[in-house]
Amino acid sequence: MDTFLNKEELKTLWGFLIVYVASALILMVIIAILYYRNETYKINEKRLMEIKTVIMGYEKELMRAEMDKVPYAFHPPKEFFSVALLNREKQPLFSNFKNQIVDVNATRYAVRELATPINEVAYIVVDEAKSEQEIFTLKFIIFLSIFISAIFVGIEGYFLSRFLLKPVHSRIEKLNKFIKDSSHELNTPVAALMMSVSSLKQSSFSDRRIINHISISTKLISQIYNSLSYIAFNDIDEVFEETFDLALLIQESVSYFNEIAATKENTITAQLQTTFIHMDKSRIQKVIHNLLSNAIKYSYPKTTISVKLSEYLLTVTDKGIGISEENKKTIFKRFERRSTTVGGFGIGLDIVNSVCKMYRIKVWVESVAMKETTFYLQFPPLRNVTTLSV
């Protein structure tokens, strides 16, 4: 599989990995908690049994020494046990504790109070460190196991997701190649058509209606070609940024689309304020073209399309079918369309969104179903340039 993935594939890959690894981790943590509880219970039970054995051993030694009428000889227990023999005042008589016992009643100690003091010993206090070491080791092993398992699951999930994405990636590559090849092949006939229409308009050909039909059809084909060309080559095309008047560019686009709007008896009105921006002119023109093309496509016949530019805010309003609240969430995604009853490829608003993200242009839409739709583009202001009204 090709090493390079597009943004959508990477998003899908990371989404799958997060869900896969998170669900596996949750399952492992649940199993680890259950295992930890079971093992600590066994360790504590074992600890209690060993402590009882130690206490009984010291109690027998004390009783034997008293019966034999000999002084009691204290023998320290195993290395992981600490034992202290206390008198009635809870003062140590014999002890191998490293530190002084502050509180005999502390929960960490096991205390056996003798019914009758033996050799002045009234309390047998036992503490041991073995169980704490075992529990610490248990925790370390569990955390290490989860960590290693998470790495393994992550690697496995990565290769599994790449394997699952392979056929999808292959199909997308073929589709992209088809779009690129189609765009390349369309370039020559579209240019030839545009030149032919220009020549016809300047000739003495009398039937202006036929010339208009040819001109409109050529513009529509050109618009489709420009959209396909951007989708196919925008990632390798050079960016030529310059400072220009956005109002003049919009006016050119309005003049270009007036002929197309006339086929539905629509009119395009423009109220434009001189606004300088520093961006790639051809890309911004594609944004305007796609907004106007969409406005014409989805507007009702014999209505007005309003274009306004003021204070770096561009609005394009059409009186048409509108956009539902549900479709507003996906309208800027590729191949999404307002309505399946109207033609189109669903790539125009994807291009708008792509260019707006590139130049940090805030874009949003407001719509009233079956009434009107307005697209808003808030351009970032250009510093140190005076904006004049015309």
| Judgement on whether residues 243 and 374 belong to the same structural domain of the protein | yes
| Judgement on whether residues 246 and 367 belong to the same structural domain of the protein | yes
Sites in the chain below the pLDDT cut of 50: 1-2, 236, 343, 385-390
pLDDT of 141 = 92
pLDDT of 377 = 96
Predicted confidence (pLDDT) per residue in 371-389, tens digit: 999 999 999 998 754 444 3
The dihedral built from the CA positions of residue 87, 91, 94 and 98, taken in this order, carries a sign that is: positive
The number of distinct structural domains making up the chain is: 2
Say if pTM beats, i.e. exceeds, 0.75.
Answer: no
Last residue of a domain, one of 78, 99, 132: 132
* Rounded-to-integer distance, Cα 147 and Cα 248, Å: 61
Copy the structure tokens of residue 240.
């030529």
Establish if 249 belongs to a structural domain: yes
Coil, helix or strand at residue 254: helix
pLDDT of 148 = 92
pLDDT of 389 = 39
Last residue of a domain, one of 87, 113, 132: 132
Establish if 114 belongs to a structural domain: yes
Which residues in 314-336 are b (16+ Cβ under 10 Å) and which e? Answer: bbbbbbbbbbeeebeeebbeeee
Q: What are the CA-CA distances from residue 260 to residues 200, 268, 358 (Å)? A: 18, 10, 29
∠ CA 379-385-389, nearest 5°, is 75
Show the domain range for 99: 7-132
DSSP symbols for 196-225: HHHHHHHS----HHHHHHHHHHHHHHHHHH
Establish if 158 belongs to a structural domain: no
Establish if 187 belongs to a structural domain: no
Predicted confidence (pLDDT) per residue in 195-237, tens digit: 666 666 666 655 666 666 666 666 666 666 666 666 655 554 5
pLDDT of 275 = 94
Residue (of 195, 222, 257) closest to 203 by Cα position: 195
| Judgement on whether residues 252 and 374 belong to the same structural domain of the protein | yes
CATH number for the domain harbouring residue 301: 3.30.565.10
Establish if 253 belongs to a structural domain: yes
* Rounded-to-integer distance, Cα 261 and Cα 281, Å: 23
pLDDT of 277 = 94
Q: What single DSSP character describes residue 338?
A: S
Establish if 167 belongs to a structural domain: no
Establish if 299 belongs to a structural domain: yes
Residue (of 215, 308, 322) closest to 263 by Cα position: 215
377: left (phi over 0), alpha (psi -120 to 50) or beta: beta
Encoded amino acid at 381, one letter: P
pLDDT of 169 = 66
Last residue of a domain, one of 132, 156, 188: 132
* Rounded-to-integer distance, Cα 347 and Cα 361, Å: 18
Establish if 43 belongs to a structural domain: yes
